[in-house]
Amino acid sequence: MKSFNKNSARLFHEPATSTASGPVHVAQIDGAARGNPGPAAYAVVLRTPDGERVESFGKYIGRATNNVAEYFGLIAALDAAEARGIHRLRVQSDSELLVRQMQGHYKVRSADLRPLHERAMKASKTLEHFAIEHIPRERNSDADAVANAALDSTAGRNLTAPVVAKPIRTRARYEGGALIPTAPLELAEGAEVIVTVEPIRRTNLS
């Protein structure tokens, strides 16, 4: 006989029309990536049970896929609920993948999404009531606008244009099987580069 987990049933199988034993806040989330992967940002629009907007915010997260940005939005919404002492939350997203994965209908196959999914699941289970539902994109226009505004305003750059980096020439030491630059490199975290090794010839003056 299969064991029955009350919390899991509430999280995975709760219909969108169900009610909690108290007022439920709503968080609309979205993620945007230009290039997929490319410059990415997420957005959260938090509303009271009466539909009044409490706050909205977006953040640029660097180069990522759209799905990663969506999960960042979900985690940010859960963090915002915790910070505000909100115990009953309904999340709305136009990402069918994220919603179905959180509901347990889709497996999380991506190595990039797995830790984000685990973090979101853990945070959602601390709430008295949690539900997540898929909504059409046109119903998520507020969160979509916030996410794109975060992209547009990032450092005043045109993020739709390809980024062309200038070559960096620096010295490095070879220690323990790795090249260690002698000066800091202004590179984004996770950036991939091409390394050309040119040994330095030293004159023996002894």
Going along the chain from its start, the domains and CATH numbers come out as 6-156 (3.30.420.10)
Alpha-carbon distance values, 40 to 61, 86, 129 (Å)? 6, 27, 30
Is 35 strand, coil or helix?
A: coil
Would you state the pLDDT for residue 153?
A: 86
Would you state the pLDDT for residue 12?
A: 39
Pairing of strands 88-93, 53-64: unpaired
Dihedral angle at the C-alpha atoms of 59, 64, 65, 68, nearest 10 degrees? Answer: -60
Question: Token pair for residue 23?
Answer: 């007022």
Would you state the pLDDT for residue 3?
A: 39
User: Helices 96-103 and 6-13: crossing angle, nearest 10°?
Assistant: 160
Would you state the pLDDT for residue 195?
A: 73
Task: Name residue 140's amino acid.
Answer: N
Kindly tell me the burial class for residue 51, based on how many C-beta atoms sit within 10 Å of its own C-beta (0-12, 13-18, 19 or more): exposed
Would you state the pLDDT for residue 180?
A: 78
Would you state the pLDDT for residue 65?
A: 96
Would you state the pLDDT for residue 165?
A: 46
Residues of the chain with pLDDT under 70: 1-20, 155-168, 183-194, 201-206
Q: Which of 137, 115, 144 is nearest to 32 (CA)?
A: 144
Report d(CA 50, CA 46) in Å as an integer: 11
Report d(CA 126, CA 159) in Å as an integer: 37
Report d(CA 60, CA 147) in Å as an integer: 8
Would you state the pLDDT for residue 18?
A: 40
- To the nearest whole number, what is the mean pLDDT of the chain? 82
Would you state the pLDDT for residue 79?
A: 96
Q: How many CA atoms lie within 13 A of 187 on its CB side?
A: 15
Phi, psi of 71 (to 5 degrees): -65, -35
